[in-house]
């Protein structure tokens, strides 16, 4: 965690900013806002990115995703006063800003409105934009939270208006913090409430579940991508089957791409593809460059809700799968297993992935896995056949010699 202590912000007291930099997550921020008495008045931790569609000079529509917000500043963030409520203000990039306002009413506080401004004059992000200028989209949220509760939403939240889609996840926020202490009592968003609902107790007359998972059909293949300012930077096509062992009970879950959200980020040495759904908080595939000329799957992180309402989380940042040269894609049509831990494995089907150097939104030439390479079977079969023939000849020779020796024995 990297913390920045800034000079007092007028009307808000001392501002303490903490940026939590994940491995390659879109951008995680943590804000602890203090008043003039150095007591916490507002706390927030969240992740977000923005997808913007715009018209190019040649009258085509183009989409860009802004996921790397650093370095960010927080000028204008405030604890609030008698006239105005608390406010989080974030500035990043070249003329981009994001503001959320809070209001208080009796025993509740509200996440009142969210606004996002983006600068179409930024030629790095919008190199061929037809319209220029700074544009702002505002959404009236009016989400009410009980005072002294911290709002939590690990699920993916989406706000869409005009040509802008805003994504938020892993959100923890409390405005009007009481007595300078952030509450431990959580108020969940509707998506998290649905996921954490505990199932009714099963009557004792019903047989207990077996520890052997029921067979699963082959999962549906989904197509996923990540877009940054330069266009599509990551491509992935695959069917995913999760094998989970929890409390000695094994289960198999097929991921449905039609109900799965995806986001991510691209960097020179790392790339992230994050999947999420109503039951999966996040399933992260983290890719890395090695030896400056190859890429591989380095890390998998998962956190999801099981049918009994419990949370299953596993992380492994020391993997070595899906290795291929930079500038190419990795392909494996046959079933392949990524062993994340003893309790969590991922079966992939019809896999093709390219996390770096994507050109014109298309896959480059693929390096196939050894499972797909049927030509390797030919020398194996020929070698096995020759070995068997040699063994037969040797055995026949030994038997022949033994018989010839027997003919010369003394009577």
Q: Kindly report the CATH number that applies to the domain delimited by 221-370.
A: 2.40.160.110
Please tell me the pTM assigned to this model: 0.49
Q: What angle do CA 215, 218, 222 make, to 5 degrees?
A: 140
Sign of the CA dihedral 146, 151, 155, 160?
A: positive
What confidence score (pLDDT) does residue 380 get?
A: 65
> 236 with 298: CB under 8 angstroms?
no
At residue 378, the pLDDT reads: 57
Answer for the pair 316, 299: CB distance below 8 angstroms, yes or no.
Answer: yes
Residue 390 has a pLDDT of: 86
- Each residue's pLDDT tens digit in the chain (411 positions)? 333 333 333 333 433 433 333 333 345 678 899 999 999 999 999 888 888 888 999 888 888 888 776 678 888 999 999 889 999 999 988 889 999 999 998 899 999 999 999 999 998 888 889 999 999 999 888 889 999 999 998 877 888 888 888 888 889 999 999 899 999 999 988 877 754 433 333 333 333 344 445 556 899 999 999 998 888 999 999 999 999 998 888 889 999 999 899 999 999 999 999 999 888 989 999 999 999 999 999 999 998 888 777 788 888 989 999 999 999 999 999 999 999 999 999 999 999 999 999 999 999 999 998 765 555 555 666 777 777 788 888 887 777 766 555 555 544
CATH domain 29-192 topology: Porin (2.40.160)
Residue 336: per-residue pLDDT: 93
Structure tokens at 222: 């989904």
Q: How far apart are CA 58 and CA 131, in angstroms?
A: 12
10 by Cβ neighbours in 10 Å (0-12 / 13-18 / 19+) ranks as exposed
Tell me, yes or no, if the two domains 29-192 and 221-370 fold the same way: yes
User: Which among 286, 287, 275 is positioned nearest to 240, based on CA atoms?
Assistant: 275
Domain limits of the chain? Answer: 29-192, 221-370
Q: What is the pLDDT of residue 28?
A: 67
At 283 the pLDDT is: 94
Query: Quick count: other Cβ atoms within 10 Å of Cβ 101?
Result: 22
């Amino acid at each position: 965690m990297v913390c920045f202590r800034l000079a007092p912000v007028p009307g808000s007291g001392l501002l303490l900013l903490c940026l939590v930099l994940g491995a390659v997550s879109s951008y995680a921020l943590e804000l602890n806002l203090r008043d003039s008495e150095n007591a916490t008045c507002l706390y927030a931790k969240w992740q977000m990115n923005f997808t913007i569609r715009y018209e190019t000079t040649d009258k085509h529509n183009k989409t860009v995703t802004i996921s790397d917000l650093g370095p960010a500043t927080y000028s204008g963030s405030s604890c609030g006063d008698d006239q105005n409520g608390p406010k989080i203000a974030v500035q990043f990039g070249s003329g981009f800003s994001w503001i959320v306002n809070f209001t208080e009413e009796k025993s509740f506080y509200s996440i009142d409105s969210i606004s996002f401004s983006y600068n179409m004059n930024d030629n790095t992000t919008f190199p061929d934009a037809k319209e220029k200028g700074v544009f702002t989209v505002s959404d009236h949220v009016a989400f009410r939270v009980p005072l002294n509760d911290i709002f939590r939403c690990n699920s993916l939240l989406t706000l869409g208006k005009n040509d802008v889609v805003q994504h938020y996840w892993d959100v923890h926020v409390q405005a009007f913090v009481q007595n300078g202490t952030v509450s431990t009592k959580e108020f969940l968003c509707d998506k998290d409430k649905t996921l954490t609902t505990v199932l009714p107790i099963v009557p004792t007359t019903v047989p207990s579940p077996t520890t052997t998972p029921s067979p699963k059909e082959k999962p549906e293949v989904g197509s996923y991508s990540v877009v940054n300012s330069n266009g599509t930077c990551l491509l992935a096509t695959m069917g995913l089957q999760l094998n989970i062992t929890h409390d000695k009970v094994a289960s198999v879950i097929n991921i449905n791409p039609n109900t799965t959200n995806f986001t991510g980020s691209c960097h020179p040495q790392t790339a992230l593809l994050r999947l999420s759904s109503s039951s999966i908080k996040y399933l992260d595939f983290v890719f890395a460059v090695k030896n400056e000329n190859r890429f591989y799957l380095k890390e998998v992180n998962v956190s999801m809700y099981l049918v009994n309402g419990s949370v299953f989380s596993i992380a492994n940042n020391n993997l070595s799968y899906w290795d291929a040269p930079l500038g190419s894609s990795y392909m494996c049509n046959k079933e392949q297993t990524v062993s994340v831990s003893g309790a969590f494995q991922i079966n992939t089907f019809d896999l093709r992935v390219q996390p770096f150097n994507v050109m014109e939104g298309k896959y480059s030439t693929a390096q196939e896995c050894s499972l797909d390479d049927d030509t390797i079977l030919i020398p194996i079969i020929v070698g096995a056949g020759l070995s068997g023939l040699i063994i037969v000849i040797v055995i026949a020779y030994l038997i022949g010699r033994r018989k010839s020796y027997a003919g010369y024995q003394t009577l």
